[in-house]
Structure 1
Amino acid sequence: MSRLVLGCMRIEGLDDGAVRALVDTALDVGITTFDHADVYGSTRHACERRFGEAAGLTGARREQVTIQTKVGIREGYYDFSREHVRRSVDESLAALRTDHVDVLLLHRPDALADPDDVAETLDGLVTAGKVRAIGVSNHTAGQIALLERSLPTPIVANQMQLGLGHAPMIAAGLAANVAALEQSVDRDGGVLDACRLRGITVQAWSPFADADGRIVLGDREHHAELNDALDEIADAHGVTATAVVTAWITTHPARMQVVVGSTRPERIREAAPGADLRLTRPEWYRLVAAAGYAIP
């Protein structure tokens, strides 16, 4: 799977040419993983359907890419029931115009799900050839361990919100044992380290936004110091600030993937160099501090 992932949650309104241009740009810069969910779009499967209609990923071209989708969010509640998961996967396959998805993620934890039942459902989809690998999204370390105990196939990914504007899964560890700092509170059970120990790839969603959903790039009202640092580091490496934000994630030794959810080919090209750019320790930690996190 490629270090960058093209997030497809906003493609519903694009015409065929725009979808193809986005996909072709992604492939040109080495992005071979495409991220979907059954709930993306104005109606269920709308973005998957737009992708299936327009992307043109058939035959040998289909085998060169990784298509992943998610299941489990319904209107007002979460649902990992056998009936819903099976039905939604079948609908996703039809919308995407493919006979399998490479990775199926459980979108958000369903507190009423029995891990044994969920594991049996997922294993059945793998055995049937409809799904090739299983992952999760927004799951804590404990939730992963609970599912993992029942699942005969390995969990390959956990998609979590992560970026310079929202980095508690990294920042908490930097402030470990500093009781006076709110940053030191572990809210996810050490999920990053837990994923690394299990060989689970963390996929960083919304990498350019802060906790309030604002894009940090160019936002000097709320993130002036961070943008100053980004611009200086970008100039030093001959790349854009978008690439530097991306590189802040890919420089981390966890070998995380970065989900770039843009409908603009130029943003994809701006981010792409960040897949291979390695920031120095002073640069990486400077960005941590500029983002407002303590380095005790």
Structure 2
Amino acid sequence: MTNMRRRKLARLFASMPVAALIWLAWMTLAQAADCPRKGTLGTSRILRVDAATYPRVGIKNYPQTLPLRDHEVVLTFDDGPWPPTTPKVLAMLAKECVHATFFLIGKPTSEHPELARRIAAAGHTIGHHTWTHFSLMRMPQANAFDEIDHGISAVEMALHGVATTTASTPFFRFPGFETTEATLDLLQSRGIVVFGTDLWASDWNKMTPKRELKLLTDRLRVARKGIILLHDPKAQTVAMLPAFLRYLRDNHYRIVQVVPAASAVGSDEAP
């Protein structure tokens, strides 16, 4: 598509009431359609993960993590979808031909199902993050189980039009990493992989994008690989993300996308 054509479409969308969202959606799809592109960070390989081999991953929380090589990272985003910021994250990832994993909360997903479908349509992996993001260890067991089921059902409804508690992508992350033996056992009995993390940007704390970038890159220099936790509803993370993706590209990091072992998407080998 020529630059002139892009400018004409931009002027057209600018005249519409939902111009910003439509423009970001169009840019995301246009960029993704061109992938892979020379000079972009790209997605290096697909890693298939099953609960039998990796029931719980992330060394911040559990004894084992994913079998990543040196300088390989998995990007994960929690707490979406959030219309003011998630489309911007999608556009940035598409620009760099990068695929990530989004752990969606059920309630906002039910309120913005079209945005959840956009995440999936862009090729990202979608996991589950409860219905309301309340701590599951601070409520009765029956309520905790319902939080898990309701959240999965809402995401499945948004993506596939069926309100089922059977997760099509059996990946789950606990809010605040707060677990109980009962909830861990429930997820394991259902064959659902529980994701912790290997490092994070601490973006639940208010800070400047520059400070967040330094914090994250300093930690990555020590870890050299791992599952990275970010939050797409955080404006400071959105502002930091382009610089972080450049850092990964310039320092020869490789992006790994995780998918369920039964998925037909992609290959374990680098393209």
- The interval holding the TM-score normalised by the smaller chain is 0.3 to 0.5
The structure that has the greater radius of gyration is: 1
Larger RCO (CA within 8 A; separation ≥ 6): 2
TM-score (norm 2): 0.46
